[in-house]
Amino acid sequence: MTANWQEHVSLKPYNTFGIDVRARYFVQAHDDDEVRRALSLASERQLPVLVIGGGSNLLLTRDIDALVLHMASRGRRLLGDDGERVVVEAQAGEPWHAFVQWSLDQGLCGLENLSLIPGTVGAAPMQNVGAYGVEIKDVFAGLTALDRETGELRDFSLAECAFAYRDSVFKRNPGRWLILRVRFALSRSLQAHLDYGPVRQRLLEQGIEQPTAKAISEAICSIRREKLPDPAELGNAGSFFKNPVVPVAVAERIREQFPGVVAYPQADGQVKLAAGWLIEQAGWKGYREGDAGVHRLQSLVLVNYGQASGAQLHALAQRIQADILERFGVALEMEPNLY
């Protein structure tokens, strides 16, 4: 066993739900060599491996009888600059929000709508993270990943990532690709995306008609802080359910019974429903059972009030899913990865 391996480590500090389960083995990797050494030793000992970043997309329901590899690599740099388009690269372990703020400090635009999202840079492409009308795919310039089957490094283009709504080739092939660093194509001029959610209204309330990227970021941060609990104060993983995408006929059937349904037409002709609206209409907002509950201000967020287990939160999520399916005929999909 190498010096930086630990045994029977609590993962409570490494998941934003604050679930206190233990990892059989635990190691932090700060660079490619440490990643390779950890994977090699795990292979020799025939240990399964769970790779984690910020732990903001995990629901841990049991002790992890495996090696938990925590990506702790840091670093960000400019790779190319033609005066307008700027390509930047960040290591997988970089905290996402800090990276967004760094890009804004460099005078770069493109990531402002993705402010205050928890997690790390390496985890962001896994589920094509998005918020307020912008997704990772919209600013993506490539990434480097380690193929755990062959040990080789591979660079991925936008097309090769096969990004979809909260999905990617990496999420569809769990355990194969380990993302090491990600590249983004940013701009020195702002192309503002203000029409999704209350962003434009918040800026107008502040008297800002021609916002900068930083002003948009600050507005989004203030909105997110109002509607989403801080994981440091109340355990959560942000939005727990994906917004379901349904055929037009399903959306119209629901609208006939519930004229106020929140729905967004999609380019492919389908309709995206607001999962939070469905959950709130079903009466789950603010629900609490023991220390597992639904946030009182945002029905899309499940919370741990202190001592809830992952199994209790999962059971609550399943009850909500069953209720929404019965009431609306719509299946909700969980966003966090379940272990």
The total domain count for the chain is 3
166 is catalytic: yes
Between CA 205 and CA 96, with CA 103 as vertex, the angle to 5 degrees is: 90
Q: Quote the pLDDT of residue 2.
A: 57
Residue 162 lies in a domain: yes
125-176: pLDDT as tens digits: 999 999 999 999 999 999 999 999 999 999 999 999 999 988 999 999 988 9
53 with 182, same domain: the answer is: no
- Pair (152, 277) in one structural domain: no
Mean pLDDT of all residues in 34-53 = 94
The answer to whether residue 1 is domain-embedded is no
Catalytically annotated residue among 34, 89, 135, 335? 335
Contacts of 284 (CB under 8 A, 6+ apart): 294, 299, 320, 323
- Indicate which residue of 217, 239, 299, 309 is catalytic: 239
Take residue 4 and report the two structure tokens written for it.
């930086």
Give percent of the chain above pLDDT 90.
88
Verify whether residue 239 is a known catalytic residue: yes
pLDDT at 195: 84
The CATH number given to whatever domain includes residue 285 is 3.90.78.10
Where does the pLDDT of residue 267 fall: very low under 50, low under 70, confident under 90, or very high at 90 and above? Answer: confident
**pLDDT number for residue 1:** 53
| Predicted confidence (pLDDT) per residue in 172-200, tens digit | 998 899 999 999 999 999 999 998 778 99
**Which residue type is seen at 19?**
I
Last residue of one domain, picked from the residues 226, 258, 277 = 226
From the candidates 166, 200, 202, 224, give the one annotated as an active-site residue. 166
Q: What is the CATH number of the domain that holds 44?
A: 3.30.43.10
In angstroms, the CA 133 to CA 230 distance is: 22
pTM: 0.89
**pLDDT recorded at residue 67:** 96
Clarify whether residues 60 and 161 are in a common domain.
no
Active site (annotated) includes residue 335: yes
The verdict on 81 and 202 lying in the same domain is: yes
Residue 75 and residue 90 in contact, taking contact as beta carbons nearer than 8 Å? yes
The CA distances from residue 67 to 49, 146, 259, in Å, are 5, 17, 50
Asked if residue 61 belongs to a domain, the reply is yes
The parent domain of residue 25 ranges over 6-71
